[in-house]
C-alpha cells in the first residue's frame, strides 16, 4: 500500500499535481490541512480515497478539524497541529497521540518536514510532510512524504522533495 501525505497547499495545487505525477499511483492521499477551498480539486486529482482535515487557514471549510482512522495495523490521528503547539516542537502532540492510543500522528502547520520514528519514550511516530507550496525549512524545497506498507504490513516513510 502506498500513501501520499501532503500539507499546506494553500490553493497552489500545481505542486500537488507534480507530487502525484512523481509518485505514480497511490492507494490513499492524506492532506494535513490548509487546503483553502481546494477540497474538490484534491479529491478529483488523487483518484483514490482521501483523508483531509481543516487547517488554521480553512476558515469556512466543512472539513473536520481532526480525524482518527486505521492504515493497516496502525491507528492514525490526523490534525493540522496548530492547536497542539507544533511550532514549538512535536513533544506535546506526541503526548496527546499516546494518550489517544495512536501509533502515528500526522500534522502540518509548520511548513517544515519531520519524520520522527523514535520509539522512546512514547512509542508514537510523528509525521509532518512540510509544505508542498510554501516550504520554510533550509533550502525551502516543497516536500511530501510517501508512506509504504510492506508485505508484512510494516510502515516505511520516504521524505521527498520537488
Q: Which pLDDT does position 122 carry in this prediction?
A: 75
Task: Name which of 9, 56, 55 is nearest 29 in CA terms.
Answer: 9
What pLDDT does residue 90 have? 92
Residue 32 · residue 5 · CB < 8 Å: yes
Mean pLDDT of 133-150: 96
Delimit the domains of the chain by residue range.
2-161
Predicted pLDDT at 121? 65
For range 104-111, the mean pLDDT:
98
Percentage, residues of the chain above pLDDT 70: 99
Is the confidence at residue 75, as pLDDT, over 80? yes
Nearest by Cα to 54 from 78, 75, 72 = 78
pLDDT: which is higher, 118 or 59 = 59
Retrieve residue 82's grid coordinates: 496548530
Stretch (H or E) spanning 147: strand 143-149
Q: Which three cell numbers stand for residue 86?
A: 507544533
* Relative orientation angle of helices 39-46 and 14-23, to the nearest 10 degrees: 20
For residue 56, cis peptide bond before it (omega within 30 degrees of 0): no
pLDDT of residue 47: 95
Could you tell me which CATH class the domain 2-161 is placed in?
Answer: alpha beta
Amino acid at each position: 500500500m502506498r500513501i501520499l501525505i501532503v500539507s499546506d497547499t494553500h490553493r497552489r495545487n500545481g505542486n500537488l499535481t507534480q507530487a502525484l505525477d512523481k509518485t505514480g499511483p497511490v492507494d490513499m492521499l492524506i492532506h494535513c490541512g490548509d487546503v483553502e477551498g481546494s477540497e474538490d480539486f484534491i479529491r478529483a486529482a488523487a483518484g483514490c480515497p482521501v483523508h483531509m482535515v481543516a487547517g488554521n487557514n480553512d476558515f469556512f471549510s466543512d472539513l473536520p478539524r481532526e480525524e482518527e482512522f486505521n492504515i493497516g495495523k496502525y491507528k492514525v490521528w490526523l490534525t493540522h497541529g496548530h492547536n497542539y503547539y507544533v511550532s514549538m516542537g512535536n513533544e506535546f502532540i506526541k503526548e496527546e497521540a499516546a494518550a489517544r492510543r495512536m501509533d502515528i500522528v500526522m500534522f502540518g502547520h509548520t511548513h517544515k518536514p519531520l519524520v520522527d520514528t523514535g520509539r522512546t519514550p512514547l512509542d508514537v511516530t510523528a509525521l509532518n510532510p512540510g509544505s508542498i507550496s510554501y516550504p520554510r525549512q533550509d533550502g525551502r524545497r516543497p516536500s511530501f512524504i510517501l508512506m509504504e506498507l510492506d508485505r508484512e504490513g510494516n510502515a516505511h516513510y520516504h521524505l521527498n522533495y520537488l
